Structure 1
Amino acid sequence: MSPTRLRYTMLGFIVGVVVVYLEALPLGVRFAAPFYGAGIGLLLDSMIVRIKQKRGKDE
């Protein structure tokens, strides 16, 4: 796993852990939030990599 991919995954996981402490969300969603956050972090990283590749290809 590349450093940036790991960085975005960990940031998403940490944000998900913060969401666990929100009382407004249902219990199942709260406890799954760190894993959702990690997945969203991976998705963001892959989108950023694709955008960078397209920019490099156009030049």
Structure 2
Amino acid sequence: MGPTRLRYTMIGFIVGVVIVYLEALPTGVRFAAPFYGAGLGLLIDNMIVRIKQKRGKDE
């Protein structure tokens, strides 16, 4: 796992941990939030990599 991919995964996980402390959400969603956040971080990183690859091909 590259440093960028790990960075986005950890940022998503940390945001998910913060969401655990919100009382407005149902319990199941709150405790799964760190894993959802990590997955979203990986998706965002993948989109960024694809955009950079497309820009590199166009030039």
Instruction: Please state which band the TM-score falls in when normalised by the shorter chain.
Output: over 0.9
Counting aligned pairs with the same residue, the percent is 88
Cross-structure match for 1:35: 35
Which one-letter code corresponds to 2:51 in the other structure? I
CA deviation after TM superposition for structure 1 residue 22, in Å: 0.2
Cross-structure match for 1:19: 19
Q: Distance in 2 between matches of 1:7 and 1:53?
A: 19
Q: Which runs of 4+ in 1 moved over 6 A?
A: none
* Structure 1 unpaired stretches of 5+: none
Q: TM-score, normalised by structure 1?
A: 1.00
Cross-structure match for 1:7: 7
Q: TM-score, normalised by structure 2?
A: 1.00
Q: Report the aligned-residue RMSD.
A: 0.2
CA deviation after TM superposition for structure 1 residue 23, in Å: 0.3
